[in-house]
Amino acid sequence: MTPLYDFRGVHVRLGPAGQVHALRGIDLRVQPGERVALVGSNGSGKSTLLRTLMGLLPVGGVLHRAPGVRAALVFQRPYLMRSSALHNVAIALWLQGQRWAQARVLALQALERVGLAAYAGRNGRTLSGGQQQRLALARAWAQHPNVWLLDEPTASLDPQARLEVEALIRTFAAPGASPAQEGGGTLIFSSHQLGQVRRLASRVVYLEAGRILADLPVDDFFDPDVLARHSPQARAFVLGETP
């Protein structure tokens, strides 16, 4: 199968003079239908890797993206405009060339999809943290992506809202969830919640200081002996994160 993404020795430097070497020699292949979790400490490079997958950053190294990729990135802190929830979604569609009337219809469908239809007229910035995260997901869903790039999608949510958003994410990434998803949706997300990683991921990539130190099927990642054999640092990270 042709990978959706094939990164070899990818480097990213950030900051005005490129002084922050945020990704250092990333090798990563992602196949259609995978559910990849990115884990690692603050500053390890998860958000940078997601932005690189989205094609938002200049990079060094070899980076192939399959032609069929239609990716949507939901940021760690979603940017919402100071206008209605409906507008926040409709404008994204309009910018992509939809006519305004049609964009509004599709936007309402997307809000219904995430359970926010009742808030369509509310200023997006006055929604609660969890509602804003749903709104950002609705905006992404409206683009019918076949690759979902989600940066800490439930970071500010209470346990109940977290499970609800996880259920949404699971249905979004399921095969046939949108017309554009012939081979099944692909999910790449970052998370500090290892329980969530277990629930959502099929594969776990552990980053430290811009490098991938472990890249394992989820069951292997959570097997202490297997993980310790692959990467003592990743094992130490998991021990530190587990209450």
Ligand X SMILES: Nc1ncnc2c1ncn2[C@@H]1O[C@H](COP(=O)(O)OP(=O)(O)OP(=O)(O)O)[C@@H](O)[C@H]1O
| First-residue to last-residue Cα distance in the chain | 39
Per CB under 5 A, the segment of 47-55, 84-92, 166-174, 225-233 that binds Mg ion is: 47-55
Binding partner at 174 among ligand X, Mg ion, none, C-beta below 5 to 8 Å by kind: none
CB 7, CB 61: distance < 8 Å? yes
Per CB under 6 A, the segment of 15-23, 111-119, 128-136, 231-239 that binds ligand X is: 15-23
Min CB(78)–ligand X separation in Å:
14
Closest CB to Mg ion among 108 and 140? 140
Q: How far apart are CA 206 and CA 216, in angstroms?
A: 9
Min CB(44)–ligand X separation in Å:
4
Min CB(233)–Mg ion separation in Å:
19
Closest CB to ligand X among 31 and 76? 76
Any bridge partners for residue 95, and if so which?
none
Backbone angles phi, psi at 213, to 5 degrees: -100, -20
Give, in order, the Cα–Cα distances in Å from 40 to each of 7, 52, 62, 217. 19, 17, 23, 16
Q: Does 52 bind Mg ion (CB under 5 A)?
A: no
Min CB(170)–Mg ion separation in Å:
22
Q: Does 20 bind ligand X (CB under 6 A)?
A: yes
Binding partner at 243 among Mg ion, ligand X, none, C-beta below 5 to 8 Å by kind: none
Min CB(50)–ligand X separation in Å:
8
Burial of 82 (0-12, 13-18, 19+ CB in 10 A): exposed
Q: Does 191 bind Mg ion (CB under 5 A)?
A: no
Q: Does 226 bind ligand X (CB under 6 A)?
A: no
Binding partner at 123 among Mg ion, ligand X, none, C-beta below 5 to 8 Å by kind: none
Q: How far apart are CA 173 and CA 33, in angstroms?
A: 8
CB 74, CB 147: distance < 8 Å? no
- 45 in helix, strand or coil? coil
Closest CB to ligand X among 77 and 99? 77
* Sheet containing 71-74: order of strands: 71-74, 147-151, 186-190, 35-39, 203-208, 211-217
Q: Does 212 bind ligand X (CB under 6 A)?
A: no
Positions touching ligand X (CB under 6 A) are 14-15, 20, 22, 40, 42-48, 76
Positions touching Mg ion (CB under 5 A) are 46-47, 76
